[in-house]
Structure 1
Amino acid sequence: MRIIPVLDLKDGQVVRAEMGRRDRYRPIVTPLSASPDPVSVATGLRTLHPFSAFYIADLDAIEGRAPNAEALARLQAMPDAPELWVDAGIADGKALAAALAEPLLRPVLGSESQHSDALLRRFCDHPGPVLSLDFFADGFRGPPSILKEPAFWPRTVIVMTLAKVGSGAGPDFARLAEIKAKAASRSVVAAGGVRNAADISALSSLGVDAALVATSLHDGTLTPGQLASLGAA
């Protein structure tokens, strides 16, 4: 079971997500880092486990502001450079092609940022992109055809239940099971609500391949020993 820590970036800092209500996100306070600096937080997370990848939500880019390019460059320059899964609001082929050319970067296509399913149709056979199916409190956000046409999904699909993020309410197992059934042989990644090792084990039993995790790492619920025993990559 691959566990991928999440770094939500805003104004060059890591912020703490709260149920998809981005206006409420504030710089993170965590025992793993003396500051919300992205490299400091990532380094602190690696004191728990030698994580090989981080998921980055560039909230400024997603909302149409200047991307956190400097922060991403510094993360890419870390020792034992991690693979970065980056959602930066990409919605056109030129931007996606440029991201795919970056070493150790996997561009995430958030459904909320897509104007149609055209980009997915064009790149569905490419091994690099990751699709994030974004579910807010009011339901799926994005072109309905993306959710209805799994044939155009790439090889890795995130089920991003933003209403669960930071809520301590547990993963959305029902929705994950539904997407897993539609995804065929694709890798399915759970995002939102992972509380503890029991949730990770339950996700694994469901056939989920990876989980994006933040709160349970920062609050110490997932310990280094548990991460090691879960086989976190």
Structure 2
Amino acid sequence: MHIIPVLDIKDGLVVRARMGDRDSYKPIETPLSPTADILDVAAGLRALYPFPAFYVADLDAIERRRESSLDQLKPLLSKADIWLDAGFSDRDQLEIALATDGIWPVLGSESQTDTSVLDSLHASPKLILSLDFRGDEFLGPRTILQNTEIWPSRVIVMTLGRVGANSGPDFERLTEIKRRAGHRAVIAAGGIRDVHDLEQLQAIGISAALVATALHSGALTPKAISSLMKTENITY
């Protein structure tokens, strides 16, 4: 099981995400870092374990408040790879990210108006698709959810209503997506509370999990993280 720490960025700072209500997100307060600065929080997380990758959600770009800039992430790239969701919806912008060393762009379904970008770039080995859900509602064109042939090799199942809610992953949805995904790696996002959730996810064939709250709260200890990461099955 591969654990990927999450950094949700808003107004240049790491924020505490909860249930997808982005307007209410505030700068994070965590025992792992003295500030909400990206590098400080990342350093605190890497003190728990030398994670090889972070998931970064540029919330301002996703909400179309501004275009994302890769420059702000360069210091972090010297430490780890970045799975970057920056509201990509333009092919040219996505191709720049795909060509950037250390950046693994995440194409969020909620940011798409059609399947054109996914149709043209789904075969890229660096592209990651995020299937975004709010409750039972799929966010984005239904064709993306229905047509597995345009899914790339890595697929995130993002359940926004469970993010930061300590409610547990959506095991039923994850099981179904894993069944449909075939050989693809499926990554869980939202609701992960502790090592028991991760072990259950691993048992149903989930390859990795995006985690934030359980790391900052101490629910996942360095010993537990190390034990789980030894069984990782995602390669870069």
- Equivalent residue for 1:118? 116
Report the Cα distance in structure 2 between the residues aligned to 1:188 and 1:34, rounded to whole angstroms: 33
- Do the aligned residues in 2 keep the contact of 1:9 with 1:68 (CA within 8 Å)? no
Aligned length, in residue pairs: 230
Report the Cα distance in structure 2 between the residues aligned to 1:191 and 1:154, rounded to whole angstroms: 17
Q: CA deviation at 1:137?
A: 3.0
Q: Is the partner of 2:176 in helix, strand or coil?
A: helix
Identity between Structure 1 and Structure 2 (%): 53
Alignment of 1:130-145 (within 5 A): 130-137=128-135, 139-145=137-143
Amino acid at match of 1:54: F
- Equivalent residue for 1:75? 76
* Root mean square deviation of aligned Cα: 1.1
Match of 1:200 among 198, 201, 205: 198
Give the unaligned 5+ runs of structure 1: none
- Equivalent residue for 2:160? 162
Report the Cα distance in structure 2 between the residues aligned to 1:154 and 1:192, rounded to whole angstroms: 21
- Do the aligned residues in 2 keep the contact of 1:117 with 1:143 (CA within 8 Å)? yes
Report the Cα distance in structure 1 between the residues aligned to 2:226 and 2:122, rounded to whole angstroms: 33
Report the Cα distance in structure 2 between the residues aligned to 1:176 and 1:164, rounded to whole angstroms: 13
Q: What CA deviation, in whole Å up to 9, does each residue of 1:111-165 have, x standing for no partner?
A: 0001101111111211011000000135110001000001100000000001000
Q: Is the partner of 1:230 in helix, strand or coil?
A: helix
Structure 1 segments of 4 or more deviating over 4 A? none
Report the Cα distance in structure 2 between the residues aligned to 1:101 and 1:187, rounded to whole angstroms: 22
- Equivalent residue for 2:38? 38
TM-score, normalised on structure 1?
A: 0.96
Q: CA deviation at 1:68?
A: 5.1
Q: CA deviation at 1:74?
A: 2.4
- Equivalent residue for 1:102? 100
TM-score, normalised on structure 2?
A: 0.95
- Equivalent residue for 2:55? 55
